[in-house]
Structure 1
């Protein structure tokens, strides 16, 4: 898992990192204006823009809403309050850095800094759109916030701006990461994901800052890489089959966002479970990333949590767990998630007003 230091940092220097040349000499100490395409920092173009998101919202609570922030190409720096993501525009890697900006008129704002070799208006617009998808800026969660305000177990999350689930902009990336996270503890899943991420293009002179690879790039690396380097084990077959279906045009994962706005949950769930390596619990998790929250994924962690909290230590059936959260209707996935999320040390720290980050507790869950 990426090691993020939590010492004392100058926020500006963390957010606006210097780009170094191959000899390690700092070249980005000053920014030089280059006209409408932005500024130069070293040999990189830098442009900034903003996102607006309805309150309540917190970048930190959203970034730490689940474990994606521990997986490349995302990196969270708690000291700077900065979420960094390496994206791509075609074959060109692009570094995105996001920090909270002062809110205005009931709208939270996030400052987005974009760095790349070239940044056209189209690239800037594309990166802004993808950052919005990552933070779920487009979702209307008014109904969930109203539910949380009336539900004692959920009400605390409103005070820290929680309620949105971070995701990768690409659904192909979300799906492969989800497959890596099944039937394994989280620390092992992070290692698998980060090794796969190394297949993508990287920021010049920063070999460890990779964008997520395309399905074609993963196929080109082959089973030897997936088995011997990424060490994904039996998941190799599922990842290969998924990537092949995308490359061959048999499946378009990035069409799922549009499909999720029109199809029923059951039909959408069938689409997801048709993917090799995606079972009912993984499908429910992916539905949440697509903005559909009316299905709870019941895996071993869900069973363990609900047994302890609601069934006096007795193992409940899947049906009992589903019935338990059915009262939340279309918001049941978010209600379940942010109820149990408050038990994580990350959430406890925020709820107690702290700034200490610990990742999700190690867990093993089923597909």
Structure 2
């Protein structure tokens, strides 16, 4: 069983990233609180299936990855695993500017002190898009159930499934897909998304390019069926683009209770509160939503 050590940026911290939102419990991810380990079944480009166990390393910015595979892995496959883990954990995100702002805004000093700010993502934008779509207009319990059923369309190793490829999803017609996933109206949108990827009518991986204007990326997201302001804003965060506040009922309730003495605020008032964060305002909103969970998980919690 290969064991890999990966080093992130100096300010990377494992737990605040893994627990940054609910992705850690959506298949093929799973999180074990007792061992504080993130698990994932991953399908490599050549079709090889591996099971990854990812945990904090010796240094605070390191992670250890134990890899289960039926066969010996090549150097190329190991490099692919390293790249997938680094992408999931946001090693390419540079938060220096955001942390500098957070230190200057009262009430946000905890963010750089705990190393919060990176968001757990999937190795592909396809997976993040599909999961985000299945969070719209539903409960979290139903989201987990829909994603679990969708994941069973992927290749399996010892009963554990990798996330299906767009080709595997598009191979079904929309009715067959929805009979399996039971996603309601979202099923047709999910099928359209997979087909668009297979036919190369959209290229979500290109949206990670920092040279692209965020407004253009947001426009492309909102052109997808099922991606209104909430879903598009959520995807923007996963892409490392925080220009949009991405407000929903959860964000508005958080702001009411945390910053407005229990009184509902208008979206304009909420936007004014986060204005000091500039292009990072969407990240500041989300970290406020996750504040209690992230502080509770931090071994250096000073609050």
- TM-score, structure 2 as length reference: 0.91
Q: 1:353 to 1:145 in 2, by over 3 A?
A: closer
Higher normalized contact order (CA 8 Å, seq sep 6+, divided by chain length): 2
Q: Distance in 2 between matches of 1:187 and 1:152?
A: 35
Q: Distance in 2 between matches of 1:86 and 1:69?
A: 12
Q: 1:100 to 1:310 in 2, by over 3 A?
A: closer
Give the equivalent residue in structure 2 for 1:350: 297
Return 5+ residue gaps in structure 1 as ranges.
1-45, 355-367
Q: CA deviation at 1:298?
A: 1.4
Give the equivalent residue in structure 1 for 2:26: 71
Q: 1:47 to 1:157 in 2, by over 3 A?
A: same
Does residue 124 (structure 1) correspond to residue 69 (structure 2)? The answer is no
Q: CA deviation at 1:304?
A: 2.2
Residues 284-322 of structure 1: CA distance to partner in whole angstroms, max 9, x if unpaired? 211111111222101122222223344454443333322
1:287 to 236, 239, 242: 236
Secondary structure, counterpart of 1:94 in structure 2: strand
Return 5+ residue gaps in structure 2 as ranges.
none
Give the equivalent residue in structure 2 for 1:302: 251
Q: CA deviation at 1:174?
A: 0.2
Give the equivalent residue in structure 2 for 1:14: none
Residues 77-103 of structure 1: CA distance to partner in whole angstroms, max 9, x if unpaired? 122121111111132222122111122
Q: CA deviation at 1:348?
A: 4.5
Give the equivalent residue in structure 1 for 2:107: 153
Q: CA deviation at 1:279?
A: 1.1
Does residue 92 (structure 1) correspond to residue 92 (structure 2)? The answer is no
Secondary structure, counterpart of 1:316 in structure 2: coil
Give the equivalent residue in structure 1 for 2:188: 237
Give the aligned CA root-mean-square deviation in angstroms: 2.0
Does residue 55 (structure 1) correspond to residue 2 (structure 2)? The answer is no
**Which aligned pairs between 1:81-230 and structure 2 lie closer than 5 A?**
81-90=36-45, 91-103=47-59, 108-118=61-71, 119-203=73-157, 206-207=158-159, 209-230=160-181
Residues 135-156 of structure 1: CA distance to partner in whole angstroms, max 9, x if unpaired? 0011111112222233342222
Secondary structure, counterpart of 2:225 in structure 1: coil
Q: Distance in 2 between matches of 1:221 and 1:275?
A: 20
Give the equivalent residue in structure 2 for 1:333: 282
- Higher helix proportion: 2
Residues 260-287 of structure 1: CA distance to partner in whole angstroms, max 9, x if unpaired? x111111110011111111122112111
Aligned length: 299
Secondary structure, counterpart of 1:54 in structure 2: coil
Q: Distance in 2 between matches of 1:304 and 1:65?
A: 18
Q: Report the structure number with the largest CA radius of gyration.
A: 1
Q: Distance in 1 between matches of 2:107 and 2:263?
A: 21
- TM-score, structure 1 as length reference: 0.76
